């Protein structure tokens, strides 16, 4: 099978042209499309085809190929399907060589020997394994050689000369040359790496083997540039994936057309500008017959192994070729640091900064409640930054300085490692970028704010499960792109060698101190040491110095999530199987086909599908025990620690608390259990406050009434409707996560959970809700600036409670305004011109305004067939009690309460009852649209050639700002937010709107309120995208007494800027 590849390159060399190598992900864009795409590639001029084997975590690939992998997996395509694609394509006449390209873990899951044998039988000619460098491919290369299947090595721009010589010596058909550092991807407007000719020439010094160059080719000109640089083959992948994505119905034809254009099929070929070397491919270096785990030295690799790379069968360096020499450099630096007393003196010189040694604390009340062994806490939560992560961060930042790296990247789950990394970067003046899953950003907003406050750039990762695994993927992609300047400060004992060793060496201070402190305090070693295990950094740091102490039990506690009998857990050692992820062989939570599955834990720091390789070895060797604590058990551990010891632990550590208690119960009172309290729980308090009011309060019998109310008397009676409006918004229309976070701080404003789900109308034009100031009527007769032909309608507030609800639910294009505090108290409904159909409201005035038809009782409960919305008296009465007061269910006190009680006086509360019903109708009809169509806004706002003025778009401001006219360009997809804001805030809004191009509208009031200030702050959290705007807003906010609460929330990170 290798012969076909050799012959293909030899033929193209004889023709004086470069081979065209194409790539497509199997099963993309649909499961049935691949065979026709392969045939179309060949018909368009492809000489060699790479068929991508889908994988859940393609760390070396850019967005286009990442997306294609995701889609293929959603199409339920695996390795077996890829083999079938090859069989079917061969049966339909495909002649071109086919290489299976991808990542190692699916091959492990399938079985290496079976995978290679079945590939040959299907008609494949070789493998390109992105994360399987030759040192780790001893067994795999041996199987390939036996089956006459090619193993294609890769060479990157960063590959050293000695390593190039080695890689060239094992090539049996051709070498894949990566043209640039970074991930896969192409663009027509980005030039090919100017260093490519030198890279090719450097490789040519050692081998005549054909060189196929990939990464970055999209056009015919780029194809010729690469070919003229000396490449024997040109690889195009990402661009083809994009062509397939955008092709529409006839994907094969689009592929064929593009391939033909790229190869200039049917056109005269220009004379080659370089002469390709003659000669046959040299025989590959024989595969050494040795132990696969120890045979790398027999290959005479350029750099010797300087630290043990494996823990039993686990560990290794399963990484893209671009990272290999960087890891060798890091390994050598760490080995030198270990032997250098000056390095350790410098490291220990920061103990005062880190707050080391951390204390060993006897948890007396917890021990008494347990009734068994004494429980001790190793207080890593008292370290600077609040966790054990500072130990590793200081150590690695010193290493980074040794190797001359000035840019630091990191991944983080719970944010503790991110905070520690941001802290040391601030201390040493280094650039800091932290990757964090979008889900973890949501649930750990406080730590996100801390990182940004320290100067770090926090990048949310929205791919995959949006948790720690995906953050690591993006961090590795960044690292491979920026190796020359960047050190990846890995936070846990995971990743390719030497990272697990480096992290352990800097965390083992935990176990060393436990040993000495127990000797001092108890005159003995502990009987048991316990730690939580996600990736496993705090646990391996706790365990390591006790591994050779057989009298000490080592117990790790994993995250059991919703239970190990469900699919929602992170119990990797309990339920995982060996595989390769993020450069290391370890236990993984994966599907039978080798795809990494999504995990779950209440604690972001344990929400990871892998574990450090040393833990995998400790499990298999039997030296350590690993147990599981579920979300519920972790919360119980959290509560016990908090209420018995007055120590609020991190949710990660809470798993270990539960585990330590269970172990201590089984031991006599004269024994000692030491638990690593790895982090403090202030970061988790907000999350728990959100979790408890739901199922956990009842399940745990833990009821905490949380009211983070505003300062007394800050709510003005005129703004009761505003309060209810924004309360309703949080429950009934889609809103961004920061807004939800804002309202989670003020549960007294939360909309009742027992209301029917919203059924919003589908509108074609959209609508706008305006809230006017108390002196509304004094400024203009028509402040809405309505479209021509719109009509106004007044409704008696006595009948408004359910009538407006029905009306607004049934009119697809309604605009509403009202004046709060006016004596008449009359809201206005603005209906489209020509609307004459009765709307289910039986008021004579309404009928008279809308038409002559009289309504009967059936109209009050009929079904609007167009929108499928059921409306009527009964549906409203389920929400509003006979007195007209909305009923909130107070689960803490077990009684119904009026949520406005205590915030506004009785008269104002009575006046607000009608607004409750109106707002239900308004919000349920989605009259507050986040992005109304521009055509509707144009008619509403009457734009002028130079833009729309502020005054013409909203309720006119009070007198001091009369005549102010600030240009407000009409945005294409504006956000529309409404609230009552005072005159000074409106001035700040002018500046903000100018910066943001009219993205935020405020509709004003002459009275400042605490609620107004809070709403103002959260909108800024969403919209302030530059430091200049943030500073302006903060400085203005500091001028106002009522803004102090907002400022406090922002500083505490509870209202995060981004």
Measure Cα distances from 396 to 65, 406, 496, 499 in Å. 32, 12, 15, 10
Q: What is the largest CA-CA distance in the chain?
A: 98
CB atoms within 10 A of CB 336: 13
Q: How many CA atoms lie within 13 A of 294 on its CB side?
A: 5
Residues facing residue 587 across a β-bridge: 578
Helices 389-402 and 321-338, packing angle to 10 deg: 100
**Tokens describing residue 184:** 């896969």
Assigned token pair, 745: 């701080």
Distance CA 746, CA 706 (A): 8
Instruction: Name 129's bridge partners.
Output: 102
Q: Which of 164, 411, 200, 405 is nearest to 302 (CA)?
A: 164
- Answer whether the bond into residue 357 is a cis peptide, omega within 30°: yes
Query: In angstroms, rounded to a whole number, what is the distance separating the alpha carbons of residues 412 and 440?
Result: 9
CB 222 within 8 A of CB 192: yes
CA separation for the pair 916, 904 (Å, rounded): 14
Q: Round to whole Å and give the CA distance between 151 and 154.
A: 10
* 8 A C-beta contact, residue 955 and residue 779: yes
Q: What is the DSSP string of 624-652?
A: EEEEEEEHHHHHHHHHHHHHHHS--B-HH
Burial label, 492 (beta-carbon count in 10 A; 0-12, 13-18, 19+) = buried
Query: Among residues 50, 118, 470, 684, which one is catalytic?
Result: 50
Task: Tell me if residue 61 is catalytic.
Answer: yes
CA distance 131 to 72: 20
Residue pair 135/296 in contact by the 8 Å Cβ criterion: yes
Report the side by side order of strands in the sheet with 233-236: 150-151, 126-129, 98-102, 48-52, 19-25, 233-236, 211-214, 175-178, 154-155
Q: Considering only CA atoms, which of 696, 612, 604 is closest in space to residue 650?
A: 604
What are the start-end ranges of the H helices in 75-204? 79-91, 104-110, 112-122, 138-146, 161-170, 196-204
Q: How far is CA 948 from CA 720, 781, 939, 966, 1011, in A?
A: 31, 20, 12, 8, 29
d(CA 695, CA 962): 52
Contacts of 902 (CB under 8 A, 6+ apart): none
Adjacent-strand bridge partners of 831: 791
Q: Is 381 a catalytic residue?
A: no
DSSP string, 700-736: HT--------PSTT-S-GGGHHHHHHHHHHHHHS---
The single residue of 61, 607, 632, 999 carrying the catalytic annotation is: 61
Cα separation, 479 vs 410, whole angstroms: 10
Contact between 276 and 230 (Cβ < 8 Å): yes
Separation of first and last alpha carbons in the chain? 54
Do residues 947 and 953 make contact, with C-beta atoms less than 8 angstroms apart? no
CA pair distance 851, 846, nearest whole angstrom: 8
Structure tokens at 558: 């994993």
The sign of the torsion formed by the CA atoms of 942, 944, 949, 952 equals negative
Q: CA 463 to CA 461: how far, in whole Å?
A: 6
- Catalytic residues, by residue number, are 50, 61
């Amino acid at each position: 099978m290798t012969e076909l590849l050799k012959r293909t390159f030899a033929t193209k060399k004889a023709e004086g042209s470069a081979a065209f190598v194409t790539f497509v992900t199997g099963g993309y864009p649909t499961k049935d499309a691949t065979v026709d795409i392969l045939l179309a590639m060949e018909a368009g001029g492809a000489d060699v085809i790479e068929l991508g084997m889908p994988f859940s975590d393609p760390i070396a690939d850019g967005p286009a190929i990442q997306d294609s992998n995701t889609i293929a997996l959603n199409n339920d395509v695996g390795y077996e399907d890829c083999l079938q694609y090859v069989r079917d394509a061969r049966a339909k006449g495909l002649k071109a060589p086919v290489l299976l390209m991808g990542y190692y873990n699916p091959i492990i899951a399938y079985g290496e020997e079976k995978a290679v044998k079945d590939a040959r039988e299907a008609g494949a000619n070789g493998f390109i394994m992105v994360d399987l460098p030759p040192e780790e491919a001893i067994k795999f290369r041996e199987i390939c050689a036996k089956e006459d299947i090619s193993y294609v090595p890769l060479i990157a721009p960063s590959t050293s000369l000695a390593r190039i010589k080695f890689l060239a010596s094992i090539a049996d058909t051709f070498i894949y040359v990566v043209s640039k550092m970074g991930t896969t991807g192409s663009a027509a407007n980005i030039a090919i790496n100017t260093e490519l000719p030198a890279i090719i020439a450097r490789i040519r010094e050692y081998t005549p083997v054909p060189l196929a160059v990939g990464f970055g080719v999209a056009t015919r000109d780029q194809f010729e540039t690469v070919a003229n640089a000396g490449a024997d083959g040109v690889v195009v992948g990402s661009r083809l994936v994009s062509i397939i994505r955008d092709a529409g119905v006839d994907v094969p034809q689009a592929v064929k057309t593009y391939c033909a254009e790229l190869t200039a099929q049917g056109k005269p070929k220009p004379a080659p500008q370089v002469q390709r070397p003659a000669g046959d491919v040299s025989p590959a270096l024989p595969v050494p017959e040795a132990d696969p785990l120890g045979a790398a030295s027999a290959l005479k690799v350029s750099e010797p192994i300087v630290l043990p790379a494996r823990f039993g069968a686990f560990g290794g360096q399963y990484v893209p070729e671009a990272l290999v020499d960087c890891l060798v450099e890091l390994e050598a630096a760490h080995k030198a640091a270990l032997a250098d007393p000056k390095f350790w003196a410098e490291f220990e010189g920061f103990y005062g900064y880190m707050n080391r040694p951390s204390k060993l604390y006897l948890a007396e009340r917890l021990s008494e409640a347990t009734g068994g062994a004494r429980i001790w806490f190793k207080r890593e939560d008292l370290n600077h930054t609040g966790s054990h992560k500072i130990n590793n961060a200081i150590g690695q930042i010193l290493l980074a300085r040794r190797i001359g790296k000035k840019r630091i990247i990191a991944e983080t789950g719970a944010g503790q490692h991110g905070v520690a990394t941001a802290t040391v970067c601030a201390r040493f003046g280094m650039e800091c970028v932290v990757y964090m899953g979008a889900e973890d950003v949501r649930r750990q907003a406080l730590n996100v704010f801390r990182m940004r406050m320290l100067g770090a750039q926090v990048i949310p990762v929205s791919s995959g499960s949006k948790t720690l695994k995906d953050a690591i993927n993006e961090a590795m992609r960044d690292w491979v792109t920026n190796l020359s300047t960047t050190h990846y400060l890995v936070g846990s004992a995971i990743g390719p060698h030497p990272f697990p060793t480096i992290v352990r060496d800097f965390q083992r201070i935990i176990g060393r101190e436990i040993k000495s402190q127990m000797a001092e305090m108890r005159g003995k070693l502990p009987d048991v040491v316990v730690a939580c295990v996600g990736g496993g950094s705090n646990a391996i740091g706790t365990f390591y110095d006790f591994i050779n102490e057989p009298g000490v039990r080592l117990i790790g506690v994993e995250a059991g999530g919703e239970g190990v009998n469900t699919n929602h857990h992170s119990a990797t050692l309990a339920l995982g199987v060996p595989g390769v992820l993020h450069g290391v062989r370890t236990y993984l939570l994966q599907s039978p086909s080798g795809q990494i599955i999504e995990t779950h834990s209440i604690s972001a720091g344990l929400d990871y599908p892998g574990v450090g390789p040393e833990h995998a070895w400790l499990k298999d060797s039997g030296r350590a025990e690993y147990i599981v604590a579920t979300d519920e058990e972790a919360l119980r551990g959290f509560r016990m620690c908090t209420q018995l010891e007055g120590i609020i632990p991190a949710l990660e550590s809470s798993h270990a608390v539960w585990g330590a208690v269970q172990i201590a119960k089984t031991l006599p009172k004269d024994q000692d259990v030491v638990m690593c309290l790895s982090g403090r729980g202030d970061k988790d308090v907000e999350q728990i406050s959100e979790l408890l009011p739901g199922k956990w309060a009842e399940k745990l019998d833990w009821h905490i009434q949380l009211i983070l109310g505003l300062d007394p008397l800050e709510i003005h009676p005129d703004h009761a409707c505003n309060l209810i409006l924004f309360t309703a918004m949080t429950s009934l229309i889609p809103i961004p996560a920061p807004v939800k976070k804002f309202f989670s701080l003020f549960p007294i404003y939360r909309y009742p959970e027992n209301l029917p789900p919203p059924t919003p109308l589908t509108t074609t034009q959209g609508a706008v809700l305006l809230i006017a100031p108390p002196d509304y009527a004094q400024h203009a007769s028509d402040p809405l600036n309505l479209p021509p032909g719109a009509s106004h309608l007044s409704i008696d507030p006595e009948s408004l409670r359910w009538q407006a609800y029905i009306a607004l639910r049934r009119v697809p294009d309604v605009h509403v305004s009202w004046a709060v505090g006016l004596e008449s108290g009359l809201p206005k409904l603005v209906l489209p011109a020509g609307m004459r159909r009765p709307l289910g409201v039986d008021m004579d005035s309404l009928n008279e305004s809308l038409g002559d038809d009289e309504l009967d009782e059936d109209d009050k409960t009929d079904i609007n067939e167009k929108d499928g919305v059921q409306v009527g008296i009964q549906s409203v009465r389920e929400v509003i009690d006979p007195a007209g007061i909305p009923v909130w269910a107070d689960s803490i006190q077990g009684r119904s309460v009026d949520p406005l009680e205590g915030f506004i006086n009785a008269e104002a509360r009575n006046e607000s009852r009608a607004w409750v019903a109106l707002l239900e109708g308004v919000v349920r009809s989605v009259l507050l649209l986040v992005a109304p169509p521009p055509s509707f806004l144009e008619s509403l706002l009457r734009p002028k050639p130079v833009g729309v003025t502020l005054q013409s778009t909203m309720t006119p401001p009070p007198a001091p700002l009369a005549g102010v006219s600030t240009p407000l360009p009409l945005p294409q997809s504006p956000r529309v937010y409404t609230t009552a804001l005072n005159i000074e805030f409106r001035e700040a809004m002018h500046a903000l709107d100018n910066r943001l191009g009219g993205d935020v509208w405020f509709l004003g009031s002459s009275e400042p309120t605490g609620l107004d200030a809070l709403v103002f702050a959260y909108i800024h959290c969403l919209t302030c995208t530059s430091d200049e705007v943030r500073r302006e807003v903060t400085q203005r906010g500091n001028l106002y007494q009522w803004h102090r609460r907002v400022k406090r929330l922002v500083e505490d990170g509870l209202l995060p800027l981004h």
